[in-house]
A and B are shown apart, each in its own frame.
Chain A
Amino acid sequence: MKKILCGLMLSILCLNTAAFAKEIPNVSAVMTEIDAKEYKHKTVRKHYNVYNLKITNKNTKAVLLSSDTEVSFISDYQDDVTSATRRQQYRNSRKRDMGRYYGIALPGALLSGCITVATLFIGSPVAAAVFAGMYLPTDKAVRTNVAISQDLFAENALPIRFEPNQTYNVRVLVPNDIDVNGIVFSNVSYDLKEMYELHAKVEEL
Chain B
Amino acid sequence: MKKFLMPALLLGICLYTSGCNQYITTEITSQDGEVYYGAYNRRDMIHADVKLFQKGTNRECDGVIFLNAPSRSITLKNDRVDATMIVGCNDKTIIKTEWQLKKRTFNDGFGEGVDQFNNIYSFKTISKKEFQEIAGSQKIKFAKENESYLKY
> A66 contacts the other chain (Cβ, under 8 Å)?
yes
The answer to whether A90 and B46 touch (CB under 8 A), given A68-B151, A160-B94, is: yes
Q: How far is the CB of A159 from chain B (nearest CB, A)?
A: 8
Q: A85 to B152, Cβ gap below 8 A?
A: yes
Cβ A192 vs Cβ B46 within 8 A: no
In the complex, what residue of chain A is closest to B70 when comparing beta carbons? A146
Are B73 and A65 in touch, CB under 8 angstroms? no
A-B pairs under 8 A by CB, number:
84
Indicate if the CB atoms of A158 and B152 lie closer than 8 Å. Answer: yes
A139 interfacial by beta-carbon distance below 8 Å: yes
Interface size of B by CB at 8 A reads 34
Contact at B47–A90, with CB atoms within 8 Å? yes
The 0/1 profile, CB within 8 Å of B marked 1, for residues 63-90 of chain A is: 0111111110000000000010111101
Q: Determine, out of B4-12, B15-23, B85-93, the stretch whose residues face the partner at the interface.
A: B85-93
Number of contacting residues on A, CB 8 A? 31
Chain A to chain B: the 3 pairs with minimum beta-carbon distance, closest first: A67-B88, A64-B116, A66-B92
B 66-96 binary contact with A (CB < 8 Å = 1; else 0): 1111101110000000101010111011101
Q: Is the interface of B mostly helix, strand, loop or mixed?
A: loop
Partner of A153, one of B66, B94, B96, B116: B66
A161 at the interface (CB under 8 A from B): yes
Q: A66-B93, A160-B94, A160-B116 are in contact. Are A87 and B64 (CB under 8 A)?
A: yes
Query: Residue A150 at the B interface, CB < 8 A?
Result: yes
Report if B108 contacts A (CB, 8 A). no
Any B CB within 8 A of the CB of A145: yes
Question: By the criterion CB–CB under 8 Å, are A192 and B93 in contact?
Answer: yes
| A149 is an interface residue with CB less than 8 A from chain B | yes
Asked if residues B94 and A67 are in contact (CB atoms below 8 Å), the reply is yes
B70 touches A67 (CB 8 A): no
- Among A93-147, those with CB < 8 Å from B are 139, 142-143, 145-146
